[in-house]
Amino acid sequence: MNKDINKRQNLKNFLKRYLFFLITLVLLGILFIFRFDAGLKATDVVVYSFKEMLLVLPPIFVLIGLLEVWIPKETMIRLMGEGSGIKGILLAFLFGTVAAGPLYAAFPVAIVFMKKHVKFSNIIILLGAWGATKLPMLLFEMTALGFKFALFRLAINIPVILIIAFLMEALIKKDEVEAIYEKAARL
């Protein structure tokens, strides 16, 4: 009896977690029916993105796992927490800039940083740098759009990322930040 209920609960959880994926899968099926060539093209992009994900994500997850286990919370607070000042800002930029992978890969990193009580504005800086000043992408940008274009975009993005972090810090209340950190600790 109990086992059965458990099974059903598990299935329900599974469906809930994969609902978004299942919907997109159905949409892809529909696309194949109505425009087969577009369906093939979509599959091409999906396979490509999936490969990229499998290539890029493993070392990032291993590194955040190691960080979570080895670096004590106190150390991370000292380096990037409240009162870490310019040191914390620079480290957030550094982490984001040397990162690889799309912006979504930064979210799990942000979670670990929250668990370690890294300052909220520094996490927003990490996200910004991860998106806009990522070094590997910058090299790509230079070859495609020119040295000047990439360099000016990098230069203007440093203050822009700081402004975003400052605004977010001002707009999100302390207790909301605390609630988010508590949620992160449970993930």
- Considering only residues 151 to 170 of the shown chain, the ones binding other proteins according to CB under 8 A are 152-153, 156-157, 160, 163-164, 167-168
Q: Check binding of 34 to other proteins (CB under 8 A).
A: no
Measured distance CA(93)–CA(158) in Å, rounded: 9
Q: Residue 98 corresponds to which tokens in the numbers above?
A: 């040397």
Of residues 6 and 61, the one with the C-beta less far from other proteins: 61
| Ramachandran region, residue 138 (left: φ > 0; alpha: ψ -120 to 50; beta: rest) | alpha
Binder among 77, 79, 117, 141 for other proteins (CB under 8 A): 141
Measured distance CA(19)–CA(12) in Å, rounded: 10
Residue for token digits 């093939």? 40
Site for other proteins in 87-106 (CB under 8 A): 98, 100, 102-104
How many residues line the site for other proteins (CB under 8 A)? 82
Total residue length of the chain: 187
Measured distance CA(33)–CA(88) in Å, rounded: 52
Longest dimension (CA), the chain: 68
Question: Least distance to other proteins from the beta carbon of 1, Å?
Answer: 29
Q: Check binding of 85 to other proteins (CB under 8 A).
A: no
Of residues 3 and 173, the one with the C-beta less far from other proteins: 173
Binder among 10, 179, 182, 185 for other proteins (CB under 8 A): 179
